[in-house]
């Protein structure tokens, strides 16, 4: 058999050591999502190609397409937002709005793989479908804050802005809607090219010198959220849409506070553009600054996309946690479980005759909820069994010899220190749980 023994680049195998972290990430997110009353949805990876056509802009060329056995033109999903839009239209009679749904799964993008860029990527999406209330926007921000805290992140801040804020900034600086598009694109690069870079790009794009300076002054506003919003309200007082955006942000942050998000974990950042053109209201992005790891995730309100299939606007706010990004960053920061194995102990088999008693003890401990691996070869020397457990990185090994069995005891060996203790069988489960 001359098969190639290799995964495709950009599509990762996750061995157990990595999976222990990934499962911790997913389980933690699900637990927070469910505390907020979000409900799980699962859709197939394969969709009719038509369903995806014309929904995601320039990246459409990255979609994996093929014909199935029945000659249907099908595609692998690119994200979980378009499938959500299809589901909302297809099952609207069965769904009750507002609908909080989460979805965790793979999407596929035919990109050139590179650092942080994968062809198979897992995302955990949360969206509130069918509400334009600022309480919904606030809830998404509170949820992401709780999620990151639960994952062990400490020094992070969510930057918050609004689509109509940048528009207003462009308009009060004397630009029309067409020119405003160039302003968004230039500001979107602020992190990469700095204020001077944005200035150069705006000037090169034909924006007048004083307009450029007014724009830069507005997007550079920093400080306490209320102060920044008050300042923006004053400077944008001539632009009704921008003022509505400021009021919307004011409402959102008051709800965010009521939901217990500490002041240092959110801020107003008028420069926040967020690339995706489908956002229509609030936009946000969470940045890890301690240690500095850059942007972790983002989201916002998009009131048009979800209603595309249903034929009417359906206001929606949400975000996607990129599991690949969380995985990579948490690995780098050493966050998450440090265990190298699922099993807390190896149940050794002292001798072939002791096999039944040892398997019975393993059964007893498993029934008590402990993760116990058993040695599989009753004829193997005890030393080799202990060596295997140690090489696997298991914290403990259990030994049950004839003498222990006769006295109702078990030897618990700490494989990191080499210490061993003989304990009454009845307390072993509790002892392992405590250790």
Q: Please, which of residues 73-102 interact with a second copy by CB under 8 A?
A: 74, 86-87, 89-91, 94-96, 98, 100-101
User: Can you tell me the distance from the alpha carbon of 64 to that of 81, in angstroms, rounded to the nearest whole number?
Assistant: 16
Q: Which of 294, 265, 22 is nearest to 146 (CA)?
A: 265
Among 25, 40, 277, 332, binds a second copy (CB under 8 A): 40
Using CB under 8 A as the binding criterion, the count of chain residues that bind a second copy stands at: 106
The CB-of-298 to a second copy minimum distance in angstroms stands at 22
Q: Which helix (H) or strand (E) holds 22?
A: helix 16-35
What is the DSSP code (8-state) at residue 280?
A: -
Sole residue written with tokens 């940048």: 166
Among 71, 206, 260, 334, binds a second copy (CB under 8 A): 260
Among 25, 28, 29, 41, binds a second copy (CB under 8 A): 41
Among 28, 29, 34, 242, binds a second copy (CB under 8 A): 34
User: Can you tell me the distance from the alpha carbon of 399 to that of 389, in angstroms, rounded to the nearest whole number?
Assistant: 12
Pick the closer one to a second copy by CB: 206 or 383. 383
Pick the closer one to a second copy by CB: 195 or 342. 342
Q: Cβ neighbours of residue 250 under 8 Å, at least 6 residues apart?
A: 226, 229
Among 77, 162, 171, 255, binds a second copy (CB under 8 A): 255
User: Can you tell me the distance from the alpha carbon of 357 to that of 86, in angstroms, rounded to the nearest whole number?
Assistant: 56
Alpha helix (H) residue ranges in 368-401: 382-392
Among 250, 254, 277, 420, binds a second copy (CB under 8 A): 254
Residues 154-193 that bind a second copy (CB under 8 A): none
The CB-of-105 to a second copy minimum distance in angstroms stands at 9
Helix (H, G, I), strand (E, B) or coil at 277: coil
| C-alpha torsion sign, points 7, 65, 276, 84 | negative
The CB-of-273 to a second copy minimum distance in angstroms stands at 26
- The residue count of the chain comes to 435
Structure-block tokens of residue 282: 């609030």
| Interface region with a second copy, contact rule CB under 8 A, candidates 137-145, 210-218, 229-237, 411-419 | 137-145
Residues 324-343 that bind a second copy (CB under 8 A): 341-343
Does residue 309 interact with a second copy by CB under 8 A?
A: yes
Among 29, 38, 320, 397, binds a second copy (CB under 8 A): 38
User: Can you tell me the distance from the alpha carbon of 335 to that of 337, in angstroms, rounded to the nearest whole number?
Assistant: 7
Residues 8-27 that bind a second copy (CB under 8 A): 8, 11-16, 19-20, 22-23
Q: Which helix (H) or strand (E) holds 296?
A: strand 292-301
Does residue 71 interact with a second copy by CB under 8 A?
A: no
How many CB atoms are located within 10 Å of the residue 120 CB?
18
Q: Which residues pair with 299 in a beta bridge?
A: 284, 319
| Interface region with a second copy, contact rule CB under 8 A, candidates 185-193, 235-243, 294-302, 355-363 | 355-363
Pick the closer one to a second copy by CB: 340 or 416. 340
Site string for a second copy, 356-395 (x = CB under 8 A): xx-xx-xxx-xx-xxxxxx-xxx---------x--xx---
How many CA atoms within 13 Å lie on the side-chain side of 131?
A: 18
Does residue 72 interact with a second copy by CB under 8 A?
A: yes
Q: Which helix (H) or strand (E) holds 203?
A: helix 190-204
Among 308, 330, 397, 399, binds a second copy (CB under 8 A): 308
Residues 405-434 that bind a second copy (CB under 8 A): none
| Beta carbons of 293 and 332 less than 8 angstroms apart | yes
Structure-block tokens of residue 221: 């506003």
Pick the closer one to a second copy by CB: 234 or 264. 264
């Amino acid at each position: 058999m001359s098969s190639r023994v290799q995964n495709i680049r950009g599509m990762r195998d996750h061995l157990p050591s990595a999976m222990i972290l990934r499962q911790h990430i997913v389980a933690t997110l699900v637990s927070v999502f469910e505390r907020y009353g979000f409900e799980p949805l699962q859709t197939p990876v394969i969709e009719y190609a038509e369903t995806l056509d014309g929904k995601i802009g320039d990246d459409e060329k990255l979609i994996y397409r093929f014909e199935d056995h029945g000659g249907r033109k099908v595609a692998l999903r690119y994200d979980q937002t378009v499938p959500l839009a299809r589901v909302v239209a297809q099952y609207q009679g069965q769904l009750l709005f507002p609908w909080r749904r989460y979805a965790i799964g793979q999407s596929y993008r035919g990109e050139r793989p590179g650092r942080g860029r994968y062809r198979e990527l897992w995302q955990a999406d949360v969206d509130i479908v069918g509400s334009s209330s600022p309480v919904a926007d606030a809830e998404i921000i509170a949820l992401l804050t709780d999620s990151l805290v639960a994952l062990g992140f400490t020094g992070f801040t969510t930057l918050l802005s609004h689509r109509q804020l940048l528009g207003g900034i462009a308009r009060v600086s004397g630009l029309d809607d067409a020119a405003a598009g160039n302003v968004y694109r230039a500001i979107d690069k602020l992190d990469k090219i700095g204020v001077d870079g944005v200035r150069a790009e705006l000037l090169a794009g034909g924006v007048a010198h004083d307009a450029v300076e007014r724009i830069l002054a507005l997007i550079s506003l920093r400080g306490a959220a209320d102060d920044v919003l008050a300042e923006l309200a004053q400077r944008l007082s001539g632009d009704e849409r921008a003022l509505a955006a400021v009021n919307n942000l004011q409402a959102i942050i008051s709800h965010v506070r009521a939901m217990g998000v500490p002041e240092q974990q959110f801020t107003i950042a008028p420069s926040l553009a967020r690339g995706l053109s489908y956002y229509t209201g609030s936009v946000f992005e969470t940045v890890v600054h301690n240690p500095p790891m850059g942007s972790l995730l983002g989201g916002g309100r998009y009131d048009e996309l979800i209603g595309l299939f249903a034929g009417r606007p359906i206001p929606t706010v949400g975000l996607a946690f990129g599991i690949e990004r969380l995985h990579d960053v948490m690995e780098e920061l050493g966050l998450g479980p440090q265990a190298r194995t699922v099993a807390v102990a190896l149940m050794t088999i002292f001798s072939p005759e002791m096999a039944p008693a040892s398997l019975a003890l393993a059964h007893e401990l498993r029934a008590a909820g402990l993760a116990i691996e058993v040695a599989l070869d009753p004829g193997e020397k005890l030393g080799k069994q202990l060596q295997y457990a140690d090489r696997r990185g298991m914290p403990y090994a259990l030994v049950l010899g004839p003498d222990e069995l006769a006295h109702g005891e078990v030897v618990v060996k700490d494989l990191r220190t080499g210490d061993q203790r003989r304990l009454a069988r009845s307390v072993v489960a509790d002892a392992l749980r405590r250790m």
